[in-house]
Amino acid sequence: MILTALEFLGLIAFAASGALAAVRSRLDVFGVVVVGLTTALGGGIIRDVLLGITPPTTLRTWPYLAVCGGTALVVFVFHPQIAKLRRGVLLADALGLGVFATAGTTIALNAGATPYAACLIGMTTGIGGGAVRDLLLREIPLVLRKEIYAVAALAGAALVVVGHALRLPAGPVTVVAAAVVVAVRMLALWRRWNAPVAKGPETG
C-alpha cells in the first residue's frame, strides 16, 4: 500500500511538471495532456518493458491514466497560478524522481533482477519520463545537460538495493531512500551543483 501511494504521488508530480513544460512551449490542450502523460508514465513503461512485464502496468489499469490526465488538465487551466509556485514545481519534480527511482528499484528486485540491474532500472524509471518529455519538446534532455539528477536517482536506487540485501522492510526503506533522493536533488538546486562539462577549444 505504501508503494502504491508513493507511486501515485510521483505520477501526479511528474504529470504536473510535464504539463507545465508543455504549456511553456505553447502546446494546445491535447499536447499538454500527452506530454503530461508521457512524463508521468514514460519511466514506468520503460521499466516494465525491461522487466518483461507486458502490457505495462500503467496501461492495464485506468486510474493511472485518469490521474495523470486529470493532473495535466488542471495544470492547463490553472498554469498562471502554478507557474508562480516555482519552488513547489521543483519540489514536485524532485519528489517524482525520488518515488519513481526507488519504487522502480523495488519492483525490479521483486521481479528477480540482480542488484546491479535493479539499480539501473530504478534510475531509468526515475529519469525516463523526463527524458522523453524533453525530446517531445525538442530539447536536449535535462539529465544530459546539467544538474545533479541521474546521480541522485542512482543513489536512491542503491539505498533500496542495500536495504533489500540486509532484509530490511521494503516500505520504510523505499520511503527513506526516496527522501534521500529528494534531499540530494533540492540541495543540488540550492547550491547550484552541476556535473562537470568538457571544455571546448574555444573555452580553453
| Per-residue pLDDT, 192 | 81
State the pTM of this model.
Answer: 0.87
In the chain, which stretches have pLDDT less than 70? Answer: 1-3, 146, 200-204
Per DSSP, helices labelled H in the chain are 2-24, 29-51, 57-60, 62-83, 86-110, 115-136, 142-145, 150-165, 170-191
| Per-residue pLDDT, 201 | 59
Best CA proximity match to 182, nearest among 105, 46, 44, 90: 90
* Separation between Cα atoms, residue 41 and residue 145, nearest integer Å: 22
| Per-residue pLDDT, 4 | 74
| Per-residue pLDDT, 7 | 76
| Per-residue pLDDT, 200 | 67
| Per-residue pLDDT, 81 | 86
DSSP state for residue 48 in the 8-state scheme = H
| Distance between first and last Cα of the chain | 54
